[in-house]
């Protein structure tokens, strides 16, 4: 099993003061800190001023690369020998594949309109329930393999409460996932910083405190904003994705701005934050630092092929966006459920 | 023990509040007053376009909006969520939330020796969230809070300045868009269908 020391050794760059575990204790430079804060506020301002434009631009430019970066991150976190984690990873893999396929079928059914209102309601609630049960199962399996405490049992009441909410308001529950997903990246970055750049922790937490400030500013400015003009398929899809029709009596401008702001942060974290915190070890095209490549019982060819395929998929996605942005966006956000789900087991393993 | 007494008291208060609010009267039907803002009615964007070459006036309503209004009006089919499914969802949701509260209580009892303030706070927060969610479901038929999403007639006020404009229209449900459109022919036509000069 890969230890924190291994991960830290991958990450810390040269010329930094490091602990035995590989974590750099050098503080973040004031210039970098200021630049990060400025980026967060500029992203919020752009999201408020031109939400549709920012959504189109960021999804086009960063959706593919950030998935590639996540793939590289997850591959790095896979242990060379599964050992006692075999059951955990089996459940994780089955859940990611099964729930993604089910989600795609759900999207197809919703688009074709064959289910009607009742069918769609039940199907959405069932998918939500399956996702909650899967997460609770992962927490239970993970908790039972860990030596300390039995805190995982608290996942049972929390899971039941989430199941209840997913049946009371299935669409709202699914929308909550859309808004919560970008925040998970911030958690990953926090864990990465604690592993490899401990000196950045305080500056990062201060930057995190900017997030609610930016959100409150957005909501304050846009609470009474007129709905966005939904001219064309792309605008309609963006507005729907942000929750128009699910969240009543809220300006669609506010919804789209909030969603785009969080998505932009999400892309920034995976494409800039995590690689910077990890050093050069997490560049998607470099496979040398992956335990499954280095280990004598690893799968170096398969891992290299996966990373090359990831890069090719990014290029293909860009071409498809150029050819038909609206359709590609639909397909992308359906398939992208896989990376949303894949974050769960890897996040659990960092806790 | 004191914590359990407090939780029990909270549960009693919540239980007492449910029937009290369940008897709340439905809001009165709004009167037909032109000066009144009807926040209970759904709002939508609308444009009036003058279309060259159009033979007849046409009102285009996006299918998506029609489905939303069906839901609001409780109309079955067309993507609307029916009352029976809503009832099933409420029952299943209520059961799971109840189970969550029971499990929380059991776990609190089981771990009472090592009970930390954080756990108790988390449990209370969970109860409050569950009660809040139940309250949201109970008040789902209430009108939206006032002041949200102002309805702005925009430049439509300039459409009719003097006497009312009248004429027949075709109502068309379209798949694309999110905006209602009233398409008006650019030129009037004679009875034979020819454009008037």
pLDDT digits (tens, 9 = 90+) for A222-250: 887 877 776 777 888 888 888 877 777 78
User: Rounded CA gap, A241 and A52, in Å?
Assistant: 12
pLDDT of B194 = 64
Q: What's the confidence (pLDDT) of residue B78? A: 44
pLDDT value of residue A12: 42
| pLDDT one-digit tens code per residue, A3-41 | 444 444 444 444 445 554 455 656 667 788 888 888 888
Instruction: Judge contact between A29 and A276, C-beta under 8 A.
Output: no
**A23 touches B: beta carbon within 8 Å:** no
Asked whether the CA dihedral B126, B127, B128, B129 is positive or negative, the reply is positive
Question: What is the pLDDT of chain A when averaged over all its residues?
Answer: 82
The encoded tokens of residue A255 equal 């919804």
Of all residues in chain B, the one with the smallest CA distance to A163 is B96
> Is A248 touching B (CB cutoff 8 A)?
yes
CB-based contact A244 B178, cutoff 8 Å: yes
Residue A15 forms contact with B (CB below 8 Å): no
Res. A96: pLDDT tops 70: yes
Tell me which of A114-123, A132-141, A207-216, B188-197 is least confident. Answer: B188-197
**Number of cross-chain residue pairs from A and B with Cβ atoms under 8 Å apart:** 115
Separation of alpha carbons B188 and A301, rounded Å: 73
Q: Which of A136, A143, A157, A256 to mutate to test binding with chain B, by most B CBs within 10 Å of its CB?
A: A157
Per DSSP (E only), the strands in chain B are 46-51, 58-62, 170-174, 180-185
pLDDT digits (tens, 9 = 90+) for A177-195: 888 888 889 998 998 888 8
DSSP for residue A281: G
Q: What is the DSSP string of A200-211?
A: GHHHHHHHHHHH
Note whether A128 and A166 are within 8 A (CB). Answer: yes
Banded model confidence at residue A285, pLDDT cuts 50, 70, 90: low
Do B107 and A249 make contact, defined as CB atoms within 8 angstroms?
A: no
pLDDT-based confidence at residue A123 (cuts at 50, 70, 90)? confident
Query: How confident is the model at residue A204, as a pLDDT?
Result: 87
| Distance in angstroms (rounded) separating the CA atoms of residues A262 and A259 | 5
* pLDDT in the model for residue A13: 42
Spell out the residues 6+ positions from residue A36 whose beta carbon is closer than 8 angstroms to its own: A203, A207
Q: Could B107 and A122 be called an inter-chain contact, meaning their C-beta atoms sit closer than 8 Å?
A: no
Nearest to A156 among B103, B149, B179 (CB): B103
Higher pLDDT: A133 or B142? It is A133
Q: Which residue has the higher pLDDT, A263 or B64?
A: A263
Q: What is the ipTM of this complex?
A: 0.72
pLDDT digits (tens, 9 = 90+) for A58-80: 999 999 999 988 888 888 888 77
Percent of chain A with pLDDT over 90: 21
Distance from CA of A116 to the nearest CA of B (A): 5
- Which has the minimum average pLDDT: A206-215, A321-330, B131-140? B131-140
Is the model's pLDDT at A116 over the cut of 60?
yes
With a cut of 50, say whether residue A168 has pLDDT above it: yes
- Contact A117/B80, CB-based, under 8 Å? yes
Q: Using CA atoms, how far apart are residues B107 and B104, in angstroms rounded to an integer? A: 5
b/e burial code for range B152-181 (CB count within 10 A of at least 16 → b): eeeeeeeeeeeeeeeeeeeeeeeeebbbbb
Section A95-117 average pLDDT: 83
Per-residue model confidence as pLDDT tens for chain B (197 residues):
666 677 777 777 766 665 555 555 555 554 456 556 665 666 677 778 777 777 677 788 877 777 667 665 655 544 444 567 778 888 888 899 889 888 888 887 777 655 565 666 677 777 887 888 877 777 665 555 544 445 566 777 777 677 777 777 777 777 766 678 888 777 776 666 566 55
DSSP assigned state of A18: B
Phi, psi of A114 (to 5 degrees): -75, -25
Higher pLDDT, A156 or A284: A156
Q: Is A187 on the interface with B (CB under 8 A)?
A: no
pTM: 0.68
Closest A-chain CA to B74: A117
Looking up tokens 């890897």 gives A346
CB contacts, 8 Å: B145 with chain A: 249
């Amino acid at each position: 099993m890969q230890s924190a020391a291994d991960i830290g050794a991958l990450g810390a760059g040269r010329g930094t003061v490091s602990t035995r575990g590989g974590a750099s204790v050098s503080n973040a430079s004031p210039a970098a800190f200021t630049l990060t804060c400025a980026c967060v506020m500029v992203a919020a301002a752009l999201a408020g001023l031109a939400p549709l434009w920012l959504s189109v631009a960021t999804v086009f430019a960063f959706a593919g690369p950030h998935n590639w970066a996540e793939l590289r991150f997850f591959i790095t976190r896979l242990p060379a020998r599964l050992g006692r984690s075999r059951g955990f990873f089996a459940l994780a893999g089955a859940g990611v594949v099964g729930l993604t396929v089910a989600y795609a079928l759900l999207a197809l059914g919703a688009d074709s309109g064959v289910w009607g209102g009742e069918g769609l309601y039940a199907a959405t609630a069932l998918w939500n329930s399956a996702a909650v049960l899967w997460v609770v199962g992962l927490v239970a399996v993970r908790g039972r393999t860990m030596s300390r405490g039995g805190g995982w049992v608290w996942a049972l009441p929390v899971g039941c409460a989430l199941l209840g909410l997913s049946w009371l308001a299935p669409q709202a529950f699914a929308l909550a996932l859309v808004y919560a997903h970008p925040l998970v990246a911030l958690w990953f970055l926090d864990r990465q910083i604690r592993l490899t750049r401990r000196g950045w922790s305080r500056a990062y937490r201060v930057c995190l405190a900017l997030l609610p400030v930016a959100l409150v500013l957005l909501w304050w400015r846009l609470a009474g904003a007129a709905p966005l003009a939904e001219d064309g398929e792309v605008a309609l899809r963006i507005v729907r994705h942000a929750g128009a029709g699910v969240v009543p009596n809220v300006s669609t401008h506010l919804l789209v701005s909030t969603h785009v702001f969080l998505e932009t942060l999400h892309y920034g974290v995976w494409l800039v934050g995590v690689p910077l915190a990890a050093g050069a070890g997490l560049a998607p095209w470099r496979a040398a630092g992956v335990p499954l490549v280095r280990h004598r019982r690893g799968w170096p060819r398969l891992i290299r092929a996966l990373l090359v395929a990831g890069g090719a998929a990014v290029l293909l996605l860009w071409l498809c966006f150029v050819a038909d942005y609206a359709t590609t966006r639909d397909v992308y956000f359906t398939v992208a459920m896989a990376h949303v789900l894949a974050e769960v087991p890897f996040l659990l393993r960092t806790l | 023990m004191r914590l359990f007494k407090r939780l029990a008291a909270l549960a009693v208060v919540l239980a007492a509040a449910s029937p009290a609010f369940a008897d709340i009267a439905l809001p009165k039907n709004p009167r037909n007053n032109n000066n009144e803002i009807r926040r209970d009615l759904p709002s939508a964007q609308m444009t009036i376009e003058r279309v060259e070459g159009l033979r007849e006036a046409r009102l285009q309503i996006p299918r998506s909006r029609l489905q939303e209004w069906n839901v609001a009006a409780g109309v079955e089919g067309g993507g609307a969520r029916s009352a029976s499914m809503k009832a099933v969802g409420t029952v299943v949701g209520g059961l799971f939330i109840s189970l969550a509260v029971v499990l929380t209580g059991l776990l609190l009892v089981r771990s009472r020796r090592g009970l930390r303030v954080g756990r108790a706070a988390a449990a209370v927060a969970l109860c409050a969230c569950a009660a809040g969610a139940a309250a949201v479901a109970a008040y789902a038929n209430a009108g939206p809070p006032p002041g949200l999403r102002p309805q702005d007639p925009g430049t439509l006020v300039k459409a009719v300045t003097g006497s009312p404009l009248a004429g027949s229209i075709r109502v068309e449900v379209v798949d694309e868009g999110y905006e209602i459109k009233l398409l008006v022919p650019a030129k009037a036509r004679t009875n034979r269908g020819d454009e008037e000069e």
